[in-house]
Structure 1
Amino acid sequence: MAEPDILVNFDLAPAGNAFGASSSINGIRGGRWKDRFRAKKRLQNKRGKSSFIDADGNQKSTNSRSHSNAKSDAPAASDHDSVLVNRSKAGNEHGGPPRSNYDQPIISSIFSSNPAPVTKADKTENANAAPAAPTNAPLKDGSAFSTMGLAPTLASHLVNNMNISAPTSIQQVAVPQLISSDSDAFIQAETGSGKTLTYLLPLVHRIYTATTNGDKLHRDSGCFAIILAPTRELGRQIYTVLMQLLSHPSLHWLVPILILGGEKKKSEKARIRKGGNILVATPGRLADHLSNTTSLDVGFVKWLVLDEGDRLMELGFEETLQQILTALNERAQKGSSKGSLANLGLPDRRITVLCSATMKASVQKLGDMSLKDALYLKSNQKSDTADDGPKSFQAPAQLKQAYIVAPAKLRLVTLASILRRAFVRKKEHMKVIVFFSCADSVDFHYETFSKVEEKEQSDTSSDSSSEDEEAETEVEKEEENKKKPKRPNLAAKSTAPLIDPAVSLFKLHGSLAQHIRTTTLNDFFHEKDGAVLFCTDVASRGLDLPNVDLVVQYDPPYSQEDYIHRIGRTARAGRDGRALLFLLPGCEEGYPSQVLGEQHLTRRLADEVLKKGFGNAPLPGAAKAVDPSWKKDFMPKTSGAKWEQEAIEFHLDVERRVLASGEFSNLAKRAFQSHIRAYATHVAAEREVFDIKQLHLGHIAKSFGLRERPGDIKVPARGKSGTVSSTSDNSRKASGKRKLDSTNINEDGAQETQDEEELRKAAQMMRKKMREHMNIASEFNIG
């Protein structure tokens, strides 16, 4: 009798079929698992290349990998809806190997597989609603600067020369208090309400009245006030307002000094030696001068202003501010060498003024560290928003706030639609600011909207004579340009052909050199036509930029306070303004209610915006100039409506540029990596709303024009000049350059090696630059 557990295995494979194999071959046993795994792989490869007899009796070779795993050989797209069309046949009629090219490349649609919004649109934009009364505008109740205790000369200068007819609410409350009292003060007011003049007017007034009672003061009389700003841009703006305030002939003897990071310390020391009465500085550079510049006399400082106190603490200046306060206290106790100034009627003690638009724990900590028995000064003008509770914030009542729910793959085309639509309605003197989370993202989108591939020559059939004439005119223009003195364009500025040919595009972030940042901001300030500024949070604090009609937050802010300051760049001094926030479908849709606690944000959908931007407005001329053959290959055959076709064409144009240019591809990869890292830096209280685990990394990569899977994206190293390049190439070039520079030829023809000290300094400088580029703080450009 047969055993009941016997298993009989019959091999029924035909004799001519090479795929048939005995079970002894399949069941590899013994040895290490790596050896067994490799043996199975070799067996699979051998089977894939074996031959078989077809129905006609011809012997043909097969490649199981090319048939069964065709999709794995194709370039992987960043999303799951990629479609492979018209693949070439695996072999020719003679049984040759499969062709590697395709009749058409892989195409993918940005309108498929997108997540739907989880919340319903319960609020729509009401065009008939009456506009809210401005809460940060100058008062219209008959208030004037002359009734606030200011000197008549100063009050008339504001009205006649600076075109400021009436004070704002916070100025009406705070200026008389700061003039009459010697107490410290904490000033809290919404953005765009004139906080800079609020502390500058009492300061200048008291110094001006002091000189009328005593001896004539001059720039060598000493430093009376120090104003600290968190960013260089804000410090320069405060300095500009102060210069306008001191432009009156009777105030010409008051000299301000500006010391910022990023400039030469030698020139700053020269200005300090010449003397000045009001010092505007950033904390780091002031602490450096207090330690190393002996000509800086702060023994007679009577005012210390800490502007944007919350930002000072966020940027990690707490220890630096403590050093500054300690140095001021020690030198004040020693007394100033100018003893005659004590009889001018200035305050007996140093007055500290802290300014902030928000009240948070870090601001309170800074107040405890610097203020003593301080006055709390706040605007008395009522607004619709509640100002009680931890989630409340102050925004101008006339500011129209909205958020748009856009899937990740539609973010780029939605931004293009918004910018194009904005300048179709109003082109003259209109400015738009777009905030990004990191500098790499700013660079990528700046290149996306500013650069387009050169148009193909459409007039190839034109006469050769006309071409020669054009060449001659170009040569003549070049010769004329050579004769003229060249002035380099320091601003990060370009045209925006994908938005509007008449629009200028700017970029601003912390990785740019200081002179480029200054020039860029100045050009954007004085731009008379339409302008768009792509920037990080370096431009979100205190900057007063005229004619900013729209603020777009392409990447959500890191905290609630950042949201307040970003939208504060528009709707300033009573003017109208709009703010738009990008959110992803899903958990981010709870941001307005859970984090902001704001019920006045209008909800918009991406499809509605795309229909207005791509369906109604004509495509710019640069976007139309695409290769017809490429358009035939890349455009899907069923694209839906006209606006959907135009949006897909716009996005595929970006993808084509990423595939065609290695430099632009590296820029997109770095922007994708930095964007994901920045997304993970949201404060702990907002992690439920901004959950990085909920991100679809493939769709995010798609928004940067990348077609690879996220796991296949290899981010190259950053070069010395901020561009992306290969690390090995950079090291070889640097070493080669070092070798060439390190040798010289003397009169006898022998090579003389340079001093080793110079090489050591060069190596230290290179390591310092590499640390700056690899520093995560500089990557997100928060300072």
Structure 2
Amino acid sequence: MSDNDVASAGTWDTIKVSPQMLDTLALVGFSQMTPVQAATIPLFLAYKDVIVEAVTGSGKTLAFIIPIIEILLRREDKWEKNEIGALIITPTRELAKQIYDVVSTFLKFLNPEDPDSPSNKTHHLAHQLFIGGTSVNQDIASFKSHGGNIIIGTPGRLEDLLTTRTLIFNTKNLAVLVLDEADRLLEFESSVTAILNRLPKQRRTGLFSATMTEALDGIVKAGLRNPVKVVVKVDALAQDPNPSSKKMERTNQVTPASLSIMYTIIEPNEKLCELLFHLRKYPQAKTIVYFATCAIVDYMYTVLSFGKGEDGAGVATAGKSKKKKGKGGVKQATGFVQYTEGILIFSLHGKMNPKRREAVYEKFTKCTEPCILLTTDVSSRGLDIPDVDWVIQFDPPQDPKSFSHRCGRTARAGRVGSAVVYLSEKEDTYVEFLRIRKIPLSPLDRSIHDEISATSETDLPIINTAEVNKILRSLAKSDKDTHDKSIKAFTSWIRSYQEHQASSIFRIKGVDFGALANSFGILRMPKVPELKNVKIVGFIEDRVNTSEIPFKNAQREKQRIENQAKAATATAAEEEAQRQAAALKRKKHKIETVSWSQQKAAKEKREERRVKKIRKKEAIGRVNALRNENSTLATATATAGLKRKGSIDESSGAASTAVDDKADWLEMQREAREMKKAKKGGKGRSDLFEEDE
């Protein structure tokens, strides 16, 4: 089925939903079905299990929300408050919140005004959102108070609630289970499997994603019975690979036809310069920029928003900054304010404080001004952010499947959008790699760069790589926080690149580390294992004393000065106390930022190590006991030999005594060799000890 013509699938009355649902769809404003909705909803309503693969922005969310509500409304008996009729599992908090909001829109029109009226036979459906970053006790209290017939949540939190609090959450009559972005849920396979084991077998199950993998077989077998697969592709005309041929052939692609995807070949230290060119060329656009790691997002947000005001919730304001002067009237570093003037800057990644993360996402979604979101793959799946004009992949994703999901944040529901990926010269084969995966790319037209560089307007700053790198270094010298983040971002990029799934294209040995270091504005090359035997070319270290770099933040700078003063007079006991306090702080931070599922896995590993340690200790004890036993036996043998020697008749003569002495000596030597051999053979052989156990 093609997704080129969204309206071609017809109207909602063709799928025979209830009059209630038709009225609600009209009130909400959905008049036409998309192809994926037309193909999926009738199957779900006919009690079929489905696996749905459709391009991003094709309307998959409504394809499962509408049949869920319709199936729950068809039940004759009223749903009790603690009865869960439908369960929707998603990989990220943002996607779960988005689905929750869509369900809220429908239930707002469907629920009766007086749910407690005995004469009212219409179902009053309640829904709940269960995601990480919130209090478990609050979730339980909310469920007890308001009920929850439709539950939307993330795997870790749902596993915690559904598998350990079975008396509170009643899933015996569960009718529908939906796994949204099913291929991404494989990262939480243990949690998903634990949830599936608690659910009844008689249910409808749906798997939805823009990309499906063979690795889903395990979940499919566990949760679906004779599923119907729905695949919605985009028809596209592709030219014959032979340049002399003008023949066109029809192919399928996994991205919307209204989405234009481009690539540009640039070096690592030119990427930020390229991004600033983009902001100059499209000053009124709403743009999402994807980076490889959370540390890089933090660093890029810091340098791009340096000198701007902040609203306190992770958003850099668009207004002009005041030019501040330091001691002696010298201008302080202002960063890239002159390049990003009039543009709001947002940052979002998985390690942010949950409340701040939710606030940033909501503000960017509602933003109607020129703005840019710096983020990781946490924002790549399923999110329906209105009016996104551009998607820029500053770093290609580790998982190639995420490429199409990233691009899918623009050109949704038939709207036009553009995307571009930055590649180095040694990564150019990635273009052909994506074409094989039915993602067509075209080269980016960079002619505008010459026009901007040669502009005669005096109020616009010149953009070039040398100037950008110079600004990055000046920011690192003027603010300790920026300096520290640059090092962390640089090292996290290296480790992320090493773990790339397309390692034949993205090879760590082919990276120009000198240019890479310049792109992060670091002052000195950090000592990391990955660079131990690497020759760095094109990078000049700065001689500045990094411990003397001040913090821009006045409170942190005051703390830094106090710490330096304390360090000068600190005793050994104080140093130890400080070390323990820092370790406790790191441990607390780790507990707050690591997900519940990761904590569970770490706990299981610690228990496994503890058991192995006990087994090893027991095995060593058995070896020592064996050694003592052999030693006692050897002593007894030696004593017996001496007694035999003393009892020999002296009249036997010197010759006979010498022969017996020699025999005893040889016997003792043989026993000593056997003891040494047994001792040597038993040392360190833990595998034999386990077999003994």
Give the TM-score taking structure 2 as reference length: 0.69
2:235 equivalent to 1:375: no
Amino acid at match of 1:171: Q
Query: Aligned partners of 1:259, 1:413: CA distance in 2, in Å?
Result: 41
Distance 1:240 1:513 in 2: 21
Match of 1:157 in 2: 24
- Alignment counterpart, residue 477 of structure 2, candidates 659, 663, 669: 659
Between the aligned partners of 2:458 and 2:218, the Cα distance in structure 1 is: 53
**Structure 1 residues 355 and 508, CA, compared in 2 at 3 Å: closer, same or farther?**
same
Secondary structure in structure 2 of the residue aligned to 1:519: helix
1:695 to 493, 499, 511: 511
Matched, 1:300 2:180: no
Aligned twin of 1:590: 429
The letter of the residue matching 1:769 is H
**How far apart, in 1, do the equivalents of 2:296 and 2:389 lie?**
23
In structure 1, the residue corresponding to 2:389 is in which secondary structure? strand
**1:283 and 2:155 equivalent?**
yes
1:216-615 to 2 correspondences below 5 Å: 217=78, 220=81, 222-250=83-111, 253-274=124-145, 275-293=147-165, 294-313=167-186, 315=187, 317-329=188-200, 349-379=202-232, 382-384=235-237, 394-423=254-283, 427=284, 430-452=285-307, 489-495=312-318, 497-586=337-426, 588-597=427-436, 598=438, 600-604=440-444, 608=447, 610-615=449-454
Secondary structure (helix, strand or coil) at the match of 2:318 reads: strand
Provide the C-alpha distance between the structure 2 equivalents of 1:373 and 1:241, rounded to a whole number of angstroms.
Answer: 29
Q: 1:188·1:358 contact (CA, 8 Å) conserved in 2?
A: yes
Which residue of 49, 59, 64 corresponds with 1:199? 64
How far does the alpha carbon of each residue in 1:533-553 deviate from its partner, in whole angstroms, 9 at most, with x for none? 000000000000000010000
Q: Secondary structure at the match of 1:400?
A: strand
Structure 1 residues 599 and 225, CA gap change in structure 2 (3 angstroms): closer
Q: Alpha-carbon deviations, 1:73-95, whole Å to 9, x = none?
A: xxxxxxxxxxxxxxxxxxxxxxx
1:584-614 deviation per Cα after TM superposition (whole angstroms, max 9, x unaligned): 012x0110103442573111376x4532444
Q: Closer, same or farther in 2 for the Cα pair 1:532/1:219, shift >3 Å?
A: farther
Q: How much has 1:767 moved relative to structure 2?
A: 2.1
Deviations 1:249-285 (A, max 9, x none): 5466211101101101111011121211100011110
CA deviation map 1:17-61 (0-9, x unaligned): xxxxxxxxxxxxxxxxxxxxxxxxxxxxxxxxxxxxxxxxxxxxx
Structure 1 unaligned segments of length 5 or more: list them.
Answer: 1-132, 333-348, 455-486, 625-642, 741-759, 779-783
Q: Tell me the secondary structure at the aligned position of residue 139 of structure 1.
A: helix
SS in 2 for 1:188: strand
Structure 2 counterpart of 1:461: none
Aligned residue in 2 for 1:175: 41
Equivalent runs, 1:631-670 vs 2, <5 Å: 648-670=466-488
Separation in structure 1 between the aligned mates of residue 410 and residue 189 of structure 2, nearest angstrom: 29
Residue 186 of structure 1 aligns with which residue?
51
Cα deviation for residue 695 of structure 1 reads 0.5
Unaligned runs of 5+ in 2: 114-123, 240-250, 320-336, 528-540, 575-579, 599-693
What SS does structure 2 have at the residue aligned with 1:227?
A: strand
User: Contact 1:697–1:710 (CA<8 Å) still a contact in 2?
Assistant: no
- Count the aligned residue pairs: 527
Structure 1 residue 380 displacement after superposition: 7.0
Question: Match of 1:46?
Answer: none
- Give 1:187 shift: 1.0
SS of aligned partner of 2:55: coil
In structure 1, distance between residues paired with 2:208 and 2:546: 42
**Structure 1 CA distance for aligned equivalents of residues 273 and 353 of structure 2:** 30
Task: Supply the distance in 2 between the matched residues of 1:522 and 1:503 (Cα, whole angstroms).
Answer: 17
How far did residue 245 of structure 1 move?
1.5
Distance 1:137 1:265 in 2: 45
Aligned to 2:589: 769
Q: Secondary structure at the match of 1:433?
A: strand
Residues 719-769 of structure 1 deviation map (CA, whole Å, 9 limit, x = unaligned): 9x9x9999x969x89xx9xx99xxxxxxxxxxxxxxxxxxx9998675242
Q: Distance in 1 between matches of 2:288 and 2:487?
A: 24
Offset of residue 706 of structure 1: 2.6
Alignment of 1:664-679 (within 5 A): 664-679=482-497
Distance (Å, rounded) in 2 between the aligned partners of 1:693 and 1:207: 56
- Matches of residues 107-118 of structure 1 in structure 2 within 5 Å? none
Answer yes or no: is the 8 Å Cα contact 1:185–1:375 preserved in 2.
yes
Alignment of 1:30-109 (within 5 A): none
The residue that corresponds to 2:654 in the other structure is none
Shift of 1:306: 0.5
Structure 1 distance, partners of 2:131, 2:594, is 23
Kept in 2, the 8 Å contact 1:698–1:710? The answer is no
| 2:373 aligned partner, one-letter code | L
- Specify the alignment match of 1:457 in structure 2: none
Name the CA shift for 1:279/1:772 in 2 (closer, same or farther; >3 Å).
Answer: closer
1:90 matched to which residue of 2? none
Query: Counterpart of 2:85 in structure 1: which amino acid?
Result: F
For residues 473 and 582 of structure 2, what CA distance do their matches in structure 1 show? 40
Q: Please report the TM-score for the alignment, with normalisation by the length of structure 1.
A: 0.61
* Equivalent residues of 1:222, 1:277 under 8 A apart: yes
Q: 2:142 and 2:352 mapped to 1: Cα distance?
A: 25
Q: CA distance change for structure 1 residues 250 and 265 in 2, over 3 Å: closer, same or farther? A: closer
If asked which structure has higher relative contact order (CA below 8 Å, sep 6+), I would say 1
Give the whole-Å Cα distance in 2 for the aligned partners of 1:256 and 1:620: 54
CA RMSD of aligned residues (A): 3.8
Q: Tell me, in whole angstroms, the C-alpha distance in 2 between the residues paired with 1:229 and 1:589.
A: 34
Structure 1 residues 413, 609: CA separation in 2 closer, same or farther (over 3 Å shift)?
Answer: farther
Tell me the alpha carbon deviations over residues 261-318 of structure 1, each in whole angstroms, 9 at most, x when there is no partner.
Answer: 11011110111212111000111101111233331111111111111011011x2x11
Q: How far off its partner does 1:654 sit? A: 2.5
